[in-house]
Amino acid sequence: MKNLFLFAVGLLFSMTASSQILKPVKWSYAAKKTSKTEATLYLKATVDEGWHLYSQNIPDGGPVKTSFKFSPAKTYKLSGKTTEPKPIVKFEKAFDMNVGYFENSVIFQQKIKLTGANATVKGTLEYMVCDDSQCLPPETVEFSIPVK
């Protein structure tokens, strides 16, 4: 009985040690006023080596695309859509289609019109990452970007 207990404890510790939480993407945010009534938001993803983050422009049936939701506020209005640089496009067998993605880092940009003082842009973003052998479940992140 004692050996069975020690085996179970050892198995638990070995499972805990090997099941680390993967967080291959770090997000950072900034805003820059381009005039008294306009600003650009910068949402930067830094992606660990070997991983890739998907574009906003993925066809249906593919991986979860990166998307942004901005909370309405009286101090700003969105101006156009969130932009991204040109992605790497490759055929992925897992999805049986060409998909666009980014490696290392990518900066998404959103222009806004300022309609009040002391704007803070809040919202959420959703993204999915994969490496050569696995994809992590989609993740949603909240953000808050002060515009100064």
DSSP for 43-112 reads EEEEE-TT-EEE-S---TTSSPPPEEEE--BTTEEEEEEEE-PPPEEEEETTTTEEEEEE-SEEEEEEEE
Residue 2 has pLDDT above 90, yes or no: no
Residue 24 has pLDDT above 80, yes or no: yes
| The listed CATH number (3.40.50.740, 3.40.47.10, 3.40.640.10, 2.60.40.1250) that belongs to domain 22-146 | 2.60.40.1250
Mean pLDDT score, 63-81: 97
State the pLDDT at residue 19: 54
Please report, for the chain, the start and end positions of each structural domain, with discontinuous segments joined by +.
22-146
Mean pLDDT score, 17-42: 89
State the pLDDT at residue 130: 95
Q: Which helix (H) or strand (E) segment is 13 a member of? A: helix 2-18
> Model's pTM, two decimal places?
0.85
Contact 104, 87 (CB under 8 A): no
State the pLDDT at residue 21: 81
Question: CA 92 to CA 82: how far, in whole Å?
Answer: 25
Question: CA 148 to CA 145: how far, in whole Å?
Answer: 9
Residue 52 has pLDDT above 90, yes or no: yes
Residue 13 has pLDDT above 90, yes or no: no
* Between 2 and 101, the higher pLDDT residue: 101
1 is written with which tokens?
């009985």
